Amino acid sequence: MSKLITLNEFIQTNQADFPFATGELSRLLNDIAVASKIVSRDVRKAGLVDHILGAQGNQNVQGEDQQKLDVVADEAFIKAFEQGGEVCGIASEENDDFVAFKSEQAKNGKYVVLFDPLDGSSNIDVNVSIGTIFSIYRRISPVGTEATLEDMLQPGTAQVAAGYVLYGSSTMLVYTTGKGVNGFTLDPSIGEYCLSHPSMKMPENGRLYAMNEGNIFECEEGLRKYINYCQSRENQTGMPYSGRYIGSLVADFHRNLIKGGIYIYPDVLSAPEGKLRLLYECNPLAFIAEQAGGLATTGRKRILEIKPERLHQRTPYYTGSKLMMEKAMECLAK
């Protein structure tokens, strides 16, 4: 049996890979892991809380009001970042504005974190996989001061680390610091993330496509051509590809990372800039996709090179296996 490597051990061993490594990024990744275990525990009892405890006037056993899971997740991560001391500020999909932490320790933090505390919220109530997505940058503002909007609005190329936690049939944490992608599975019996997917590579090609096809007549001609191509026998496999759409980006992305595939959320009439958020969803997963050998674009332009103008900026999003992405972009360009 090969030796079990915990996330903690892995982070320590690879710490020297980080630019300017002084241990803070390692501690920050550990803070994320701990917060994600709390969220994982709460996700695992979602049905119990809603249907058993919730029946008693929406208060839990401690007499606290029940909260929706995305608020629970948002608070768990913010608390971890605020208390950890490595982070001077955060921006979250759940908050209108970014938060600059006020303590002296936080003002000395070198990093900012941008995150989607619970991705796939519409799947919470129906017991389908959801996740957390995070993106870490070095601050631009001087150490010792409060975080600024400029710290948050950096292009994806400036990310020092990014990752996601998938609360699926098991809980997994996948992350990159720009030296490949590694995946860890939470062993609930010992409460540790263990290295289960070392050096993850997205297959160069695939036969799975993920798109909300309810929008097919709302999107541009070139994309309809690509979807026709996926459904025809004219593609590389000579057989129609399979459509797979979970409706939690993080879960659709994870499946494609392992099996090969493409995920598409285009601009549509009802969402002319696309639906997904550049800073909390698209950039972190684009960093991972590229690190695993895949691509992530707007359909035309590399996601990581977009200079963000607004915190909650949206973008059309195409990500997945290299050859599938190239074909999709070729259809759009025509």
CA pair distance 291, 13, nearest whole angstrom: 19
Under a CB-based contact definition with an 8 Å cutoff, are residues 124 and 69 in contact?
A: yes
Amino acid identity of residue 152, one-letter, is: M
119 binds ligand AHG (CB under 6 A): yes
119 binds Mn ion (CB under 5 A): yes
Cβ-based nearer residue to ligand AHG, 212 or 242: 212
CB of 265 to Mn ion, least distance (A): 10
Query: For the CA atoms of 67, 70, 74, 80, what is the dihedral angle to 10 degrees?
Result: 80
Task: State the binding partner of 275 from Mn ion, ligand AHG, none, CB within 5 to 8 A by kind.
Answer: ligand AHG
Residues of span 45-104 touching ligand AHG by CB under 6 A: 93
244 binds ligand AHG (CB under 6 A): no
Three-state SS letters, 174-217: EEECCCCEEEEEEECCCCEEEEEECCCCCCCCCCEEECCHHHHH
Under a CB-based contact definition with an 8 Å cutoff, are residues 107 and 144 in contact?
A: yes
Amino acid identity of residue 132, one-letter, is: T
320 binds ligand AHG (CB under 6 A): no
CB of 282 to Mn ion, least distance (A): 10
Task: State the binding partner of 141 from ligand AHG, Mn ion, none, CB within 5 to 8 A by kind.
Answer: none
Tell me the window of 116-124, 170-178, 187-195, 231-239 that interacts with ligand AHG (CB under 6 A): 116-124
CA pair distance 153, 135, nearest whole angstrom: 12
Tell me the window of 13-21, 119-127, 149-157, 296-304 that interacts with ligand AHG (CB under 6 A): 119-127
- Which two tokens mark 99? 């938060």
Contact positions vs ligand AHG (CB under 6 A): 93, 116, 119-121, 212, 247-249, 275
